[in-house]
Amino acid sequence: MANFDTLFDKYDRLVFFDTETTGLLYARDEIIEFAAVVVEQVDGKATVVQEYDELIQLSSGGFVPPKIEQLTGITTAQLREKGLPKTRVARDIAEMIRGNTLLLAYNAHFDLSFLFYFLLRHGDMQVLKGKDKLDLLTVY
């Protein structure tokens, strides 16, 4: 755990995140679920200070392809009934990653590409500018 704790020598916050999407093409497909864990140093110990896991409304006419529904268990009906508006999730993400934050994801290029386009369309993609990113797949 000592190596993990040294990240707080450089960063105030670590955000581990994952997305579920309607497909593989970040310029066309949509994020349908965003989940994250925010870790900060509290009293000298890495502490989870926030957990976030929300479904996201589909765009008008959008749907979850059967293969994605099978993989994720997320249905079009669930997103229509329980999904949060995209602008709300974009604001939540911006708040979560504010300041001196390290973004961490497994296969980060995939998730970051989707996140960039999501924020470009529904929020402020500038919140990603200058943020260090760590791909946990390469670490693994």
pTM above 0.85, yes or no: yes
Q: How far apart are CA 108 and CA 96, in angstroms?
A: 17
pLDDT in tens, the chain (140 residues): 457 789 999 999 999 999 999 999 998 999 999 999 999 999 999 999 999 999 999 999 999 999 999 999 999 999 999 999 999 999 999 999 999 999 999 999 999 999 999 999 999 999 999 999 999 998 76
* Gyration radius of the chain's alpha carbons: 16
Q: How far apart are CA 38 and CA 139, in angstroms?
A: 19
